[in-house]
């Protein structure tokens, strides 16, 4: 500690000299360089709110003092009094992290006074910045006369190279290593008032909204274009596919100028992202599950990577279990009441860790993937990382034995017995098992070689290359010898998506609607944002999985096209606005209350950061033959003049309705617009318009109303052909089955006749000559017009006639 304090003191001396030069040149606050849009960065600098926002400097463990409010103020009604100082640095401190910027100049003023009877006649005081660790910089100093208020008045410039992620300003007396030897000289009480630091305000936090179109209209991969997600685990329940993802977006912070984010930091990820779909193209964003960390469901864990999901009846109740990696050292599980939660932790310690029997030699006890078999027995597959150094080099490369399988208890939150070795060739991590036609399939990702896997080795013939997905087939979920290896399921994704998309992968397989699907990730959205330079932010993808007659898997080809939409989208219900197939420039965030579509216990999200020119779109919406009459949006207006244009089949397609967002600003409301010409199956684009440079509104949900089906008149018709005098005729008859008279028009290719006021039960008849000796088969059209409940209605029916030859 002494060396650290001494190092800090030496840094201070250099800074004092620089500040002294500025003061000698007369650089007072009044003559300081003007800063654009300057503001006071200090909160409660006049201490009118007591000592709120202030605390005693605690940069060293030896620091300590008592900070209290006093009415002995230079101005106003309050000031801060510091007493009982343990070190020279023990003084009032305020956190300016995120407020000050490197390279910026600030003007500092403050008032300070000391009155200690035994103190010296004058005393120097410093305003000092602590940038973390042992980095302290004295900013401005003043020499005060005992019993009189003195004024700090100067400027300071933060070096352009200074890291300001931590920046805390405090007031102190000159440093000495042994202040207790003369406390009257070094540790006097003092009073502080009217503190200000004037300068450029902090820059706004970088926007995480992805402004580019990352999922192109018509393409189905990546699954979403407004956020990232990796390690997708597909889970089917209630006719929907739920995809649980590592929340790569959590660390995404693009530079406001370049648009490029620092590389992903896996150590900060403690949330799971959840999306779901009923058609595999339109995906609903359910937001993030705060799994780990101090505010997480399981606060005894720090990370949440590579989720796995299962459900099981436990004690007569259906429960859902979300497994996740707590970093590389352990794995855990939380329990949900539905696939969307709410979530609780039944455990107070991790499920898989160093004490798990049979996992002692596994370097990375992570990537937990559950399987509940047909008989109810559940299993967990986990592990990965460097092979044991006790193995021969060639074996470390080809058969590292770093994956494990273990039985789960009936409660799904405990294990049974000892884990067994899964002998996956060239394996790295990401084991997952599914069952098909009585066979078990285990897929995994392969390693890239290197010192952790025996150095420069040659893989055995047929074994995976680096960063590929291999698989095994077994008759037993707990038996995976190397002889069950079946080949490569998926090559490295860079083979399909090009430069910048390589690296490791993580997959799952699920069955939906009688077909099997393969999930994987690739930084394709990251690539579309930044070109071929990516920073490791991954996006979920799905391809269909097909099998050979012998049960082996046909190698998957990664495409932007993705999978086919398995069913048309139903618009005639309330559905979440954060459901879309494609989007541009929007973001999502949780809002208060439950979901209108998924229930009060499900999280509710809204689409936000909606600017002029942004849009969202739904794929293959089926409006039926009657079509839609109107659309209603639940919105919260943020500015006047916003509107939503409904278009068909293209972002620049015809506008079939315009929703005026004319509800009160700041309040949630429903707004409705009539629609014209909306029937059949279409892609639907919601394009957002309004004043530029401001967020327009937030969107919570949509609902379409179907057009009322027009009543039909009960008219029956028939058409026949006959021969008269060697000529062919088409005879058409229609009967009015209505209770009031109707007008009937009979139309053929050979003429048209209208009969008015056809009485109830009466007929309209016409025989049309073809003027030919023969007639081909054809159709007659009959239109009846009458009134039903006072409304004029036209009903059209058709009648087919056969061919006829009247030749000799």
Element (H, E) at 594: strand 587-595
Q: Which residues contact 691 (CB under 8 A, 6 or more apart)?
A: 612, 639, 640, 641, 642
Rounded distance between C-alpha atoms, residue 453 and residue 476, angstroms: 28
**Are the beta carbons of 280 and 542 closer than 8 angstroms?**
yes
**Are the beta carbons of 327 and 368 closer than 8 angstroms?**
no
**Are the beta carbons of 691 and 612 closer than 8 angstroms?**
yes
- Supply 355's token pair: 């004490």
Q: Is 769 exposed, middle or buried, given 0-12, 13-18 or 19+ CB atoms closer than 10 A?
A: middle
CA atoms within 13 A on the CB side of 126: 25
The Cα angle at residue 584 between residues 580 and 589, in degrees rounded to 5: 65
Rounded distance between C-alpha atoms, residue 661 and residue 691, angstroms: 12
Length of the chain: 808
Rounded distance between C-alpha atoms, residue 323 and residue 231, angstroms: 12
**Are the beta carbons of 415 and 352 closer than 8 angstroms?**
yes
One DSSP character per residue, 483-547 reads GGEEEEEE--THHHH-TT--S----EEEEETTEEEEEEEE-HHHHHHHTT---S--EEEEEEE-B
Among 539, 538, 492, smallest CA distance to 222 is for 539
Catalytic residue flag (residue 429) = yes
**Are the beta carbons of 506 and 367 closer than 8 angstroms?**
yes
Residue with token string 């539905």: 338
Rounded distance between C-alpha atoms, residue 629 and residue 572, angstroms: 11
Q: Which residues contact 339 (CB under 8 A, 6 or more apart)?
A: 235, 237, 238, 240, 242, 274, 276, 309, 311, 320
Q: How far is CA 719 from CA 715, 729, 745, 778, in A?
A: 14, 10, 14, 9
Rounded distance between C-alpha atoms, residue 584 and residue 211, angstroms: 6
Q: Can you say how many angstroms the Cα of residue 284 is from the centroid of all Cα atoms in its chain?
A: 10
Element (H, E) at 673: strand 668-674
Options 172, 219, 231, 279, the catalytic residue: 231
SS3 call for 229:
coil
Rounded distance between C-alpha atoms, residue 467 and residue 487, angstroms: 14
Rounded distance between C-alpha atoms, residue 205 and residue 85, angstroms: 37
Catalytic residue flag (residue 231) = yes
Options 429, 578, 614, 747, the catalytic residue: 429
Element (H, E) at 136: strand 136-145
In this structure, the number of other CB atoms found within 10 A of the CB of residue 62 comes to 13
Q: In angstroms, what is the C-alpha Rg of the chain?
A: 37
**Are the beta carbons of 377 and 354 closer than 8 angstroms?**
no
Rounded distance between C-alpha atoms, residue 389 and residue 386, angstroms: 8
The catalytic site residues sit at 231, 429
């Amino acid at each position: 500690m002494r060396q650290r304090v001494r190092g800090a003191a030496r840094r201070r001396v250099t800074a004092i000299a620089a500040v002294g030069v500025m003061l000698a040149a007369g650089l007072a606050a009044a003559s300081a360089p003007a800063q654009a849009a300057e503001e006071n960065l200090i909160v409660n600098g006049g201490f009118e709110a007591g000592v709120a926002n202030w605390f005693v400097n605690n940069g060293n463990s030896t620091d300590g003092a008592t900070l209290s409010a006093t009415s002995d103020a230079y101005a106003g009604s309050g000031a801060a009094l510091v007493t009982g100082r343990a070190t020279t640095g023990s003084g009032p401190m305020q956190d300016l992290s995120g407020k000050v910027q490197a390279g910026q100049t600030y003007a500092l003023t403050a008032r300070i006074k000391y009155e200690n009877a035994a103190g010296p006649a004058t005393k120097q005081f410093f305003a000092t910045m602590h940038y973390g660790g042992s980095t302290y910089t004295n900013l401005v100093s003043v020499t005060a006369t005992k019993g009189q208020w003195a004024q700090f008045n100067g400027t300071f410039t933060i070096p352009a190279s200074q890291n300001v992620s931590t920046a805390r300003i405090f007031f102190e007396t000159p440093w000495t290593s042994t202040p207790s030897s003369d406390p009257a000289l070094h540790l006097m009480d003092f009073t502080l008032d009217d503190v200000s630091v004037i300068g450029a305000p902090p820059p706004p936090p970088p926007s995480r909204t992805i402004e580019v179109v990352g999922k192109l209209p018509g393409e189905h991969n990546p699954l979403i274009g407004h956020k990232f997600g990796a390690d997708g685990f597909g889970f089917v329940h209630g006719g929907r596919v739920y995809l649980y993802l590592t929340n790569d977006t959590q660390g995404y912070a693009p530079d406001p100028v370049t648009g490029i984010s620092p590389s992903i930091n896996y150590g900060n990820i403690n949330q799971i992202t959840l999306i779901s779909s009923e058609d595999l193209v339109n995906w609903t964003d359910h937001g993030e599950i705060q799994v780990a960390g101090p505010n997480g469901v399981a606060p005894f864990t720090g990370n949440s990577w590579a989720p796995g999901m299962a459900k099981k009846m436990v004690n007569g109740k259906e429960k859902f279990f979300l497994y996740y990696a707590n970093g590389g050292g352990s794995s855990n599980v939380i329990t949900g009441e539905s696939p969307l939660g709410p979530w609780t932790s039944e455990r107070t310690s991790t499920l898989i860790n160093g004490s798990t029997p049979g996992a002692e030699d596994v370097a990375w006890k992570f990537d937990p993937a559950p399987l509940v078999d047909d008989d109810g027995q559940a299993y967990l597959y986990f592990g990965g990382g460097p092979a044991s150094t006790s193995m021969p080099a060639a074996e470390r490369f080809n058969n590292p034995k770093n994956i494990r399988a273990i039985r789960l208890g009936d409660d799904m939150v405990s294990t049974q017995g000892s884990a067994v070795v899964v002998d996956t060739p060239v394996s790295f991590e990401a084991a997952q098992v599914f069952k098909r036609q009585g066979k078990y399939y285990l897929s995994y990702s392969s390693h890239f070689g290197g010192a952790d896997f025996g150095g420069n080795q040659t893989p055995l013939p047929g074994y995976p290359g680096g960063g590929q997905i291999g698989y095994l087939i077994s008759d037993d979920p707990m038996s995976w010898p190397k002889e069950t290896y079946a080949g490569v399921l998926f090559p490295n994704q860079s083979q399909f998506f090009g430069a910048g998309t390589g690296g490791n992968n993580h997959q799952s397989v699920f069955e939906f609607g009688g077909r099997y699907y393969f999930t994987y990730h690739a930084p394709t959205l990251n690539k579309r944002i930044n070109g071929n330079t990516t920073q490791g932010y991954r996006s979920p993808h799905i391809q269909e999985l097909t099998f050979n007659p012998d049960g082996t898997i046909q190698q998957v080809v990664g495409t932007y096209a993705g999978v086919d939409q398995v069913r048309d989208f139903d618009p005639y219900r309330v559905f979440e606005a954060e459901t879309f197939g494609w989007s541009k420039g929007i973001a999502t965030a949780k809002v208060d209350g439950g979901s209108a579509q998924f229930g009060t216990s499900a999280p509710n999200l809204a689409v936000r950061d909606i600017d002029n020119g942004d849009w969202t779109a739904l794929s293959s919406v089926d409006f039926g033959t009657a079509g839609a009459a109107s659309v209603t949006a639940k919105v919260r207006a943020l500015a006047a003049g916003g509107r939503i244009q409904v278009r068909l089949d293209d972002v620049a397609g015809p506008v079939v309705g315009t929703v005026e967002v004319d509800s009160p600003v700041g309040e949630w409301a429903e707004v409705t617009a009539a629609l014209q010409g909306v029937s059949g199956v279409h892609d639907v684009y919601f394009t957002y318009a309004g004043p530029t440079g401001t967020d327009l509104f937030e969107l919570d949900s949509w609902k379409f109303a179907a057009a009322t089906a027009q009543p039909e008149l009960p008219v029956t018709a028939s058409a026949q052909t006959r021969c008269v005098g060697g000529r062919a005729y088409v005879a058409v008859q229609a009967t009015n089955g209505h209770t009031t008279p109707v007008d009937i028009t009979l139309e053929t290719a050979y003429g048209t006749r209208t009969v008015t006021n056809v009485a109830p039960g009466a007929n309209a008849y016409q025989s049309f000559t073809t003027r030919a000796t023969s007639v081909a088969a054809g159709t007659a059209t009959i239109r009846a017009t009458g009134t039903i409940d006072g409304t004029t209605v036209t009903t059209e029916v058709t009648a087919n006639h056969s061919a006829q030859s009247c030749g000799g």
